[in-house]
Chain A
């Protein structure tokens, strides 16, 4: 099944729940009408939170630049001895 159909099915299920709530009048109607808005805002806040958390925990590796530099020196040395032209670009 195409992915978009899965998402649409999910939205249809959520809409059905929402309409059911409207009919059943378990919650005051004025509140129920606003539920989709609350849902979208919560989704947005969750997204922003995930971006923020991910940004704070973003894995960095400063030591890798140094290791790479050493690898480059080692490689240049070996290749020069084997006759490969390793002058810079």
Chain B
């Protein structure tokens, strides 16, 4: 089929916010280069002053892969995810932007799928979904799956978002679309990811999905306590009323 051989003249800026990801960022960079051999891309590491020396590792990676391929966009301290993306967007030279997590829960082997899906459909946003066939999660116990599924059903019923995975943060955006949507988002954390995709849906942007697998490596630590559930519900109500 002609599509596979078509010249991809796009440039992809991969923005990765980091905080204490000294080892993971190196592994992630290696895997990105491994899985995107013929693609024009740059990696923008937005580090919030990690005390573990993440920035030193990034500089070592720059000497291996080139300072034009790996950009270090350092910030003095933890300043939040939304502003991290905005910071990465400044000086991003690609016409597409990928956002992904630094902890290897998002595997770069899916990047070609994101790119291919976008070229096939002309989508403005391609979002990774863990909840469809071909995707999946590893490392979640029953309780975690239950809350995830319950949260998803509630969000689908209230918001009609048009995507199956609202809180996912492995996404490909057309740069102009990301700039447009991010300007109107005010939430924090995973509610921020929800707000981004819901606002994009409301604005009529074309959103496609690709299945991804998600390996949760923070074993044993409960990331969903009562306060997180309350935050989530507050976020849902906020999105219901303001989007």
The answer to whether A and B belong to the same complex is: yes
Interface residue stretch chosen among A17-25, A28-36, A76-84: A76-84
Inter-chain contact B107/A59, CB cutoff 8 Å: no
Q: Kindly state the separation between the CA atoms of A72 and B27 in the bound complex, as whole angstroms.
A: 6
B159: chain A residues at CB < 8 Å are 3
Q: Are B131 and A59 in contact (CB under 8 A)?
A: yes
Number of interface residues of B (CB under 8 A): 45
How many residue pairs between the two chains, A and B, have CB atoms under 8 Å in the bound complex? Answer: 97
**B1 located at the interface, meaning its Cβ lies under 8 Å from any Cβ of chain A in the complex:** no
Q: Are B104 and A55 in contact (CB under 8 A)?
A: no
Contacts A60-B137, A61-B136, A89-B20 given; indicate if A68 touches B149 (C-beta within 8 A). no
| Interface majority SS (helix, strand, loop, mixed), chain B | helix
Q: A51 to B23, Cβ gap below 8 A?
A: no
Which A residues are CB-close (under 8 A) to B138? 60-62, 64-65
Which of the segments B40-48, B56-64, B177-185 contacts the partner chain? B56-64
* Residues of B that sit less than 8 Å from A by CB: 20, 22-23, 26-27, 30-31, 52, 56-57, 60-61, 63-64, 104, 107, 130-139, 142, 145-146, 149-150, 152-154, 157-160, 202, 213, 215, 240-243
11 contacts between A and B (CB under 8 A): A7-B240, A50-B153, A54-B153, A55-B142, A61-B135, A62-B138, A68-B104, A68-B215, A74-B30, A85-B60, A89-B20
